[in-house]
Structure 1
């Protein structure tokens, strides 16, 4: 029985070694495993190997706009680069959510993003893998020293991304006790430490809830007066949805989400 078990164990070990030989890493185990063979000859990476501590397995990432409603990457995916966003999460109340949905009847070609509403506090950043821990720790410490604050909801405003490939309709948000400004001033210093781009010089904090492909500013602008009137009508009837209580900051790095509570 022991001999039989030993033979099976040896066969399994040989199989694992053969599969491992199909993959290689550039240097140490902190690097992602990169596939060197042509895609048609690639064997599936065994799950047990993919889950080894310190090893990140990432398949080749090719941008195909048709897979995500025609959206185009603002920067190319590169091994070791992690897309990062710092933001305030926002979940609209029932009345405001219903109003946002009604805008689709006025702008039928627009795409609603109610389930992903947020208030950006950074541009889309590109973090190197070896920066992540220290960046997260710096942001965590900043949040621990920042008091929670409130944002007041204002008028609608039209935005575009820097490439002018997408147009967004958003609700402006204002903070009048300067706690957000204090947070952003300190956060700017963290970005400087990593030579990362600052947030927009004339920051306009807002909740984007709808987008269209291309530069549609002129088309949407003609609807703004009536849309603002209807928004104010909803907010007048639901006073509790006029403001947002902010008690945490969120940060998404790749597919990992961090939540940092603010000081009470």
Structure 2
């Protein structure tokens, strides 16, 4: 029975050779099949599964970014497993009533042909968004903690409205600029730049214009939005007196670092 199984495998995998001898009892393997048997043998060869070590992995779908999941915003870099988008920032953790009122008035000023949207996660960036490898996360966060533990708390006050565009020219922002606290912000940026350079990552902008983005639009609309900045600033000045003073400043007593879907908090002294 075993010899018959072996012979069947020879018929399937073997070449079109003539007389071959199999060890043990003499067995002739001379081809005696007719043409139609040949065709059947080919079909059987095609259906015979390969050993697992030679099989390729099929139907493995790669991650595809869907802009509809985040209001059409485009990634600055492709998603890759093991890479974590990372940035450090100061959160605006107050009630947003004054900011919401400002945005509503901006909507009345900007033409409806420009689809402007509010920024939900209000903050002041202290680094660009960079990519950390997974095995860097712990050492990077430790480095940030060690270098900020003796930084004193400070105050940030807001000034006026400016238009900004990201480096890729894929999004345009309206941001409230920083009036005070600039020296402390520069000191933090210098610290974070040194930490980033240890991993050969991009540092922050030279001569940065610190701001908190409050509205954005898809694409490069810097020139178009610039036409309305004076009118928006007039509205902003009115709102400075409408809402309490603490709406327009941040008392910075901690920083946040967003790494992928995780947040790390670093308290100042």
TM-score by length of 1: 0.74
TM-fit CA distance, 1:148: 0.7
Cα distance in 2 between the residues matched to 1:146 and 1:106:
41
C-alpha offsets along residues 93-123 of structure 1, whole Å, 9 cap, x if unaligned? 423332223322333410111x311111110
Cα distance in 2 between the residues matched to 1:258 and 1:245:
19
Whether 1:221 aligns to 2:226 is yes
Where 1:116 maps in the other structure, the secondary structure is coil
Counterpart selection for 1:101 from 85, 99, 104: 104
Question: Which segments of structure 1 move beyond 6 Å, counting only runs of 4 or more?
Answer: none
- Whether contact under 8 Å (2:116, 2:215) holds in the other structure is yes
Cα distance in 2 between the residues matched to 1:95 and 1:242:
8
Where 2:203 maps in the other structure, the secondary structure is coil
Cα distance in 2 between the residues matched to 1:228 and 1:64:
35
> 1:234 corresponds to which residue?
239
RMSD (CA atoms): 2.1
> 1:243 corresponds to which residue?
249
Counterpart selection for 2:135 from 123, 130, 135: 130
TM-fit CA distance, 1:92: 5.0
84-93 or 207-216: which moved more? 84-93
- Whether contact under 8 Å (1:143, 1:249) holds in the other structure is no
Gaps of at least 5 residues in structure 1 are 1-35, 41-59
C-alpha offsets along residues 61-103 of structure 1, whole Å, 9 cap, x if unaligned? 2122344332221101112211001101013542333222332
Cα distance in 1 between the residues matched to 2:75 and 2:248:
34
1:73-222 matches, cutoff 5 A: 73-93=75-95, 94-107=97-110, 108=112, 109-113=115-119, 115-176=120-181, 178-222=183-227
Cα distance in 1 between the residues matched to 2:250 and 2:236:
16
Whether 1:38 aligns to 2:43 is no
Aligned length: 210
TM-fit CA distance, 1:154: 1.0
